[in-house]
Amino acid sequence: MGGLVGGLVGSRLAQGDPLRFDRRLPIPPLIDAAKQGNAVKLKVSSGRHAFIKGRPTPAYGYSGPILGPAIRMRRGDEVQMTVENALGFDTTVHWHGLLVPGDVDGGPHQVIKPGGSWRPRLKIEQPASTAWFHPHLHHDTARQIYMGLTGLIIVDDGSDARLGLPRTYGVDDVPIIIQDRSFDSDGSLLYDRDPDPQTIQYGLRGSTIIVNGVVGPVAKVPAGLVRLRILNAANAQNFDLRFSDRREFRVIASDAGFLSTPVSMRQLRISPAERFEVLVDFADRNPVMLETGPDTLMGIFGAVSPDGSADFVSIMRFETTATDGTIGEFPVHLVEPLAVDPEKAVRRRQFVLDSGICGGKRPTEMGMLPGLCINGKTHDLDRIDVETGIGTLELWEIVSLGMAHPFHVHGASFRVSSIAGAPPPAHLAGWKDVVLVEDKAELLVAFNHGATRAHPFMYHCHILEHEDAGMMGQYVCA
């Protein structure tokens, strides 16, 4: 088994070469849409970026060599996006977590050709939240994200000031985009375009963690309360986060908005595509590491850390600046999430996510690869799996087979009504759009946006290799 795991997680970045934390954490540039007339341009291109200090290698980014800007959008505004594709191949841009209609959602039906552009108008009608954007091309999502295509969206509804939350971007409101990667000896990313069956089955795991695109970062933060907007943008890895001194932190928001009250935790699991906003108190001025534990949800592989061990590994360091934080006290109350009445669910559906090979084969340039399924069917761009209605609430039962699957729905958010047969823990009790399902979960999904057969919404496993291999379905909503 050890050999298999070694192959699965790739080789260590620096055998015998201890990881140094000596690089300032990069902060993605902020684009405040309202300050530029709600017109935002993104250029998707390839360039060079040094994931490892001093070793620039090919990478993809939005309007930059890696990742993308954080775009702040205000509730009530309409943002005119222009996306130019300067890559040499097709891409799409999906606004993960934005509640917008199917025809501007950026799923696999909305291909932007090389040299082409796409101009969706995004009407922002949802509460404050941390969303993100990434490619969603049929059979080529995992590689494009792996190469660097990930950006943040900050939906602002004005509640930050009222709630007294840290809100100075890059200072006490810090984006933390966590990914795992494997590097070649020249510092370039290792990604096989035609992954072997084992990588498809478990998803691609990297041996090294990067935060905001770099290995070994140090964040300098004021000595006080700091808000971290944490996004797991890994292809497959679940991160189990804690501080090296086990300090307490408080979760204030999940994917789709604030929790009703901050939830005190010392360890937080975050699955691919999930977001949590947390408040951490750095007033003691002690430097501290953020660590991640072994992924315990690897099916037959048991618990595996990115470095191949079963230990916690350090992913970044926090140090305080000479400045005191402007916010000293944890808020007591946040925002009561919009209530949902389970009695109002108009129907119940079951979705079985299976990472065993379910029969279907999908053709690739290199030959045939196995397909993965939901309810026994591999994704088909021409098949509508579910039809539902705008303004309805449905109960979706998600069943995971083979391993834990992070389940995501486009165009809607949901409340977890039960997970593994029990009510959700407090930090999973708010509005979400991704949930890690180990065996079973019941979701109350609220459909409020339309999607047609030409531009249906997707629902899928957010392990990107699973998604690319067909663990995805499509729904229309009218």
CA 235 and chain centroid, separation: 9
Nearer of residues 94 and 415 to ligand C2O, judged by Cβ: 94
Measured CA to CA, the distance from residue 170 to residue 41 in angstroms comes to 21
Nearer of residues 73 and 215 to Cu ion, judged by Cβ: 73
Query: Measured at the alpha carbon of residue 217, what is the angle toward residues 212 and 221, in degrees to the nearest 5?
Result: 90
Burial 271-281 (b: 16+ CB within 10 A, else e): bbbbbbbbbbb
> Mask: binding to ligand C2O, 243-282, rule CB under 6 A, as x and -?
------------------------------x---------
Write out the binding residues for ligand C2O, residues 337-396 only, by CB under 6 A. none
Write out the binding residues for ligand C2O, residues 390-449 only, by CB under 6 A. 408, 410
Regarding 458 and contact with ligand C2O (CB under 6 A), the answer is yes
The single residue listed with the structure tokens 């291999």 is 469
Smallest distance, ligand C2O to C-beta of residue 265, A: 24
Measured CA to CA, the distance from residue 360 to residue 225 in angstroms comes to 51
Write out the binding residues for Cu ion, residues 375-414 only, by CB under 5 A. 405, 410
* Interface with Cu ion (CB under 5 A), residue from 211, 463, 464, 477: 463
CA 291 and chain centroid, separation: 18
Indicate the residue whose CB is closest to ligand C2O.
96
Return the one option of ligand C2O, Cu ion, none that residue 273 interacts with (CB less than 5 to 8 A, by type).
ligand C2O
Regarding 461 and contact with Cu ion (CB under 5 A), the answer is yes
Write out the binding residues for ligand C2O, residues 130-159 only, by CB under 6 A. 134, 136
Choices 121-129, 227-235, 396-404, 454-462 (CB under 6 A): range interacting with ligand C2O? 454-462
Nearer of residues 134 and 227 to ligand C2O, judged by Cβ: 134
350 Rama class: left (phi>0) / alpha (psi -120 to 50) / beta? beta
* Interface with Cu ion (CB under 5 A), residue from 72, 96, 427, 432: 96
CB atoms under 10 Å from CB of 310, counted, come to 14
470 Rama class: left (phi>0) / alpha (psi -120 to 50) / beta? left
Measured CA to CA, the distance from residue 194 to residue 399 in angstroms comes to 28
> Mask: binding to ligand C2O, 76-95, rule CB under 6 A, as x and -?
------------------x-
Q: DSSP letter string over 42-101?
A: EEEEEEEE-SSTT--EEEEEESSSSB-PEEEEETT-EEEEEEEE-SSS-B--EEET----
Q: Which parts of this chain interact with Cu ion (CB under 5 A)?
A: 96, 405, 410, 461, 463, 466
The binding site for ligand C2O (CB under 6 A) comprises 94, 96, 134, 136, 273, 408, 410, 458, 460, 462
